Amino acid sequence: MTLYVKAGESSYPVYIEVGITDRLGELFDLNRKVLIVTDKNVSPEAVSSVQGACADPRLLILEPGEKNKSFSGLERLCRFMLENGFTRTDAALALGGGVIGDLTGLAAALYMRGIDFYNVPTTLLSQVDSSIGGKTAIDLGKTKNAVGAFKRPKGVAIDPKLLLTLPKKQLSNGLAEAIKMAATCDERQFCLMEREDFDAILPQIIEGSLRIKKDIVEKDEKESGLRRVLNFGHTIGHGIEAVTGMEHGECVALGMTFMCAKEIRPRLERLLKKAGLPTRVSLDADAVLRAIASDKKAEGNEINYVFVENIGSFSFRKCSFEEFSRRFGAMIAGEG
Ligand SMILES: NC(=O)c1ccc[n+]([C@@H]2O[C@H](COP(=O)([O-])OP(=O)(O)OC[C@H]3O[C@@H](n4cnc5c(N)ncnc54)[C@H](O)[C@@H]3O)[C@@H](O)[C@H]2O)c1
């Protein structure tokens, strides 16, 4: 199945199909020099499929991890392309999770003022979320995604088969984002996830999540309004992540449980648990709130957050930091 993401005057295709990695040559213009960036955890079979589809592949295999999203990581990609004689008519292709996609997309946005970029996401998180929407970035110090650009891919190919090698924890991370999208925007998708076994419906989860994200980024690519709905669970989630160092998806899961009406909280918690995500942990509320305050510095004293009153819909809310602390402090501490 193919979705087209409309972006400005143009649009880009997102192909979703089991086994599609084996026929990338038919879908993308790879008849040129192509930088393939991947990491050591991506299966060698997937790497050789992609290499085989390119006329002149140049492969860079990175150590896994967020640390790649740095100026030195970016320099490494750009230098590699320069040393390999890449010109403006060549292309870069990310074969990896959100880290590889964000880094490669940014290098493609900047190298020679921009070359074509293709994305073949290999984690559930990158398949349901980060591979579309055009955001690319590296981190600066402790600030995530501090330096980046909007770079639309020329095409995205999503192969659910690549998820077979993904550790369970990473699957849960991706499910957290899929649940986020269903909880805010699509009750039917939420019900489907409640009803069925996740493993049996992964392609539907991916497709449903991408439809939601496509709809959002088509209306608000640059995050001036609607796109902020994708931050559901992230306001408190980022605070928990900073304090505990838990996985991003786990923190988003916990964050979501605070940001919904108490009538739907049990339902949301059940689905998160089914996805192997935590819903209650003991937290130092003051430390979490301090981390949220420092995360939010740029917005002054006001905290913006997304709240879900009913499954499938949301509202944007804002209040002062003091009010936020009063409202959610006890809940974060596990007393509410
Ligand atoms: N651009 C966006 O819109 C956007 C949206 C959400 C998140 N992000 C970014 O995405 C990143 C997180 O993405 P992620 O969770 O995919 O992280 P990741 O790229 O670090 O991948 C997670 C882990 O899975 C491994 N892995 C990848 N593919 C595999 C496979 N097929 N089999 C086995 N192991 C595999 C990786 O080596 C890594 O250890 C963060 O940097 C975040 O900021 C970007």
CB 205 within 8 A of CB 193: yes
Distances from the Cα of 237 to the Cαs of 58, 109, 300, in angstroms? 38, 29, 19
Distance CA 175, CA 169 (A): 10
Say if strands 143-150 and 155-158 run parallel, antiparallel, or are unpaired: unpaired
Lowest mean per-residue pLDDT among 101-110, 174-183, 202-211, 321-330:
321-330
For residue 143, the model assigns a pLDDT of 87
Does residue 252's CB lie within 6 angstroms of at least one atom of ligand 1?
no
Q: What is the mean pLDDT of residues 62-71?
A: 97
Does residue 41's CB lie within 6 angstroms of at least one atom of ligand 1?
yes
CB neighbours of 218 closer than 8 A, spacing ≥ 6? Answer: 5, 6, 7
Distance CA 283, CA 280 (A): 9
Q: At what angle do helices 265-274 and 248-258 cross, to 10 degrees?
A: 160
Does residue 39's CB lie within 6 angstroms of at least one atom of ligand 1?
yes
For residue 220, the model assigns a pLDDT of 94
- The domains found in the chain, sorted by start residue, are 2-165 (3.40.50.1970), 168-332 (1.20.1090.10)
250 exposed, middle or buried (CB, 10 Å; 0-12, 13-18, 19+)?
A: buried
CA of 124 to the centre of ligand 1 (A): 8
| Residue of 67, 95, 99 to mutate, ligand 1, most atoms within 8 A of C-beta | 99
Residues in the chain: 336
CB 27 within 8 A of CB 234: no
Greater confidence (85 vs 300) lies with: 85
Give the residue whose CA is nearest to atom 18 of ligand 1. Answer: 97
- Number of Cβ within 10 Å of residue 67's Cβ equals 12
The beta-strand segments (E) located in 26-180 are 33-39, 56-62, 91-96, 116-121, 135-140, 143-150, 155-158
| Residue of 38, 42, 126, 132 to mutate, ligand 1, most atoms within 8 A of C-beta | 126
Distances from the Cα of 134 to the Cαs of 10, 108, 118, 119, in angstroms? 13, 12, 11, 11
Q: What is the pLDDT of residues 6-41, one digit of tens each?
A: 998 889 999 999 999 999 999 999 999 999 999 999
CB 17 within 8 A of CB 2: no
pTM for the whole structure: 0.96
pLDDT at 298 over 60: no
pLDDT at 89 over 60: yes
As beta bridge partners, residue 2 has 15
Which residues are identified as catalytic? 113, 135, 177, 213, 223, 227, 231, 234, 238, 248
Contacts 24+ apart (CB under 8 A), 1-4: 1/207, 3/207, 3/210, 3/211, 3/214
Q: What is the mean pLDDT of residues 216-222?
A: 95
Nearest alpha-carbon partner for 36 in 58, 68, 52:
58
CA of 28 to the centre of ligand 1 (A): 22
